[in-house]
Amino acid sequence: MEIKVYVLGELATNCYLVICRDSKEAIVIDPGGDPAPVLDELEREGLKLRYIINTHGHMDHIEGNQSLQEATGAPILIHKEDAGMLTSPAQNLSLFVGPELVSPPPGRLLADGDEISWGKQSLRVLHTPGHTPGSISLAGGGVVFSGDTLFARSVGRTDFPGGSMGKLLVGIREKLLALPPETRVLPGHGPETTIGVEKNNNPFLRQ
């Protein structure tokens, strides 16, 4: 599993291109701005984009959905509880900061425990609500893409509609901290970390 990261959009969202070199297939996680550099990489390397995956439905994680889908035809995957956010500027919060953002609708709805496979690679869906009702993390191959659930020394905001600090902490403790301590945590914003480092040092997890 080869991972490339692009920091996109005004809110500096980490967009991940995850490649299976054997099959030359790839997925994109959270295209949060103009995906031009991602499209350039796909073309340069001759890669087929299988899926566009949103860890949740906020505007800064879905902004590039339409451009990516128009260029590649790849379906959009999102948890069923956040699906309505794709096409609702009020729910994805773009209504309040402008311009209003409407993504294409999902091609597949995700649920806890689902497997997403491309080429010889796969990731398991972990439903980790709290930042949004349908927030997910994606685990496999020694990494977990944590979206806006878990950050280096921090956790996701829960003061948006549908947020819940209680649910967020339960999801982190029961699903993310259950992963091996050496698991790389690749979050939606900021630097990467590991499960072990966060378990021992994240002040929010001492509550």
**pLDDT tens sequence for the chain (207 residues):** 999 999 999 999 999 999 999 999 999 999 999 999 999 999 999 999 999 999 999 999 999 999 999 999 999 999 999 999 999 999 999 999 888 999 999 999 999 999 999 999 999 999 999 999 999 999 999 999 999 999 999 999 999 999 999 999 999 999 999 999 999 999 999 999 999 999 999 999 986
The neighbouring-strand residues paired with 28 are: 17, 52
3-state secondary structure of 108: strand
Q: How many domains does the chain have?
A: 1
- Which pLDDT value is given to residue 98? 80
Q: What angle do CA 89, 92, 93 make, to 5 degrees?
A: 80
Which ranges in 15-141 belong to alpha helices (H)? 36-45, 59-62, 65-72
CATH number at residue 191: 3.60.15.10
Domain ranges, residue 56? 2-206
